[in-house]
Amino acid sequence: MDILALRPVPAAAVLMAITRRCPLRCGHCSTGSLPGSEEHPGEIFQRFAGTFTPADRPELVMLTGGEPLLRPRLARSLAETAARSGTRTMILSGMFFAPRIPASIAGAIEAADHFSASLDAFHEEEVPRKSVFAVMRALLARGKDLSFHLTGSGPDDPYLRDVTAEIRREFHDRIPMLVGRVRPVGRARAGAPALLPAPAAGNAATVTGSGVAPALPCVMAAWPTVGFDGTITACCNQDVVDHRPVPGHLRLGHAGADDWSTVRERCLTSGTLRALRTYGPLRLAGAPPGRGYCETCRELEVTPPPHTPAAAFLERRVRDMQLAGGGVGFAGRYGCPPYGDLVSLGHPGRKHDL
Ligand code: SF4
């Protein structure tokens, strides 16, 4: 809930995909990861984390992959480096090691502030649910701050009903869950059509009665993402992270050459990114009906609107509205709506029982 409350805040966090490799072969994998997928020297990521300072740092580093715990020493070192400047670290894992926790992986998890386990029907074909629960039980007993990342086909998916109910029972409502939907990227694009949700309304380019493309602000253009090769993009959209060259307006730099302060500055001051966060790509491009949301953004070639006092006012208003919803509001809008409140489980600020 606290992490998601930061999601609309530009440069509040940075995602680092420290390897594309993964020993699992989940059918919906958004990164198309395999055991022999690309992996680049850890020094690139280490160097970038080393440029955080107590006065200029992200609040959070999220280590992802692929499977970040295939590089447990790097994950641990990044968490320790980040902590020296006051930045907290979260690790998201597919739990290939469950039900055991090898010593090197235990060290990485220990060094991080938050640990999240991915769980869904595809993962369960690779790692049994009871093995994942065994690891989470052990970590909970050690006082670790935990969460689950769950995915399914949508609000009516019986798998989501079953797994959320079992997690609540098993862990007595102490572990929050972020429930999302399988997206048509990576292996899911070709391999899991039955589980893909219908296209989200927010991603369809409709026109308003006035014939103007709608303003649908992009909240994802807020957290810089360090890709597998160290290239830093303005968002975590997998097509943006994967394709080269990165469109100029979505490229923030490279972890091997740029420091955090430069990347943060670019994220905050880019006219195009500010306009994407305020109006979204469809309005910015004046897109005709039927154009895809991120597709329009990747092909954007427009001069951003001038930064007038009115534009600055609108930017603040959009941000304030997004922040007002907090972590639960974000999970409801961008995850799987009926399950949005599950991100507040175990949180002292949780308003009511479900
Ligand atoms: S609209 Fe652009 S910035 Fe936003 S997620 Fe899509 S590609 Fe990224």
C-alpha 218 to ligand 1 mean position (Å): 6
Task: Give pLDDT tens digits for 101-116.
Answer: 999 999 999 999 999 9
Domain 2-198+220-268+326-344: top CATH class: alpha beta
C-alpha 234 to ligand 1 mean position (Å): 8
Task: Give pLDDT tens digits for 128-185.
Answer: 999 999 999 999 999 999 999 999 999 999 999 999 999 999 999 999 999 999 877 7
Note the helical H segments in the chain.
2-5, 42-49, 72-84, 103-111, 121-126, 129-141, 158-170, 188-191, 238-242, 260-269, 271-278, 281-285, 293-298, 309-324, 326-334
Question: Mean pLDDT across the chain, nearest whole number?
Answer: 91
Length of the chain: 354
pLDDT for 178 equals 97
Does residue 187 carry a pLDDT above 90? Answer: no
* Alpha carbon distance 316, 45 (integer Å): 32
Residue 281: count of CB within 10 angstroms of its CB: 28
* Ligand 1 mutation pick, 246, 270, 276, max ligand atoms within 8 A of CB: 276
Q: Whose CA is nearest to atom 2 of ligand 1?
A: 297
Does residue 348 carry a pLDDT above 80? Answer: yes
* Alpha carbon distance 94, 104 (integer Å): 16
Asked if residue 240 has its Cβ within 6 Å of ligand 1, the reply is yes
- Ligand 1 atom with least separation from CA of 298: 7
DSSP letter, residue 349:
T
Of 264, 210, 248, 185, which Cα lies nearest the Cα of 14? 264
C-alpha 109 to ligand 1 mean position (Å): 31
Could you tell me the pLDDT band of residue 206, with boundaries at 50, 70 and 90? very low
* Domain boundaries, given as residue ranges, for the chain: 2-198+220-268+326-344
Of 158, 224, 209, 195, which Cα lies nearest the Cα of 12? 224
Asked if residue 234 has its Cβ within 6 Å of ligand 1, the reply is yes
DSSP letter, residue 353:
-
pLDDT for 210 equals 53
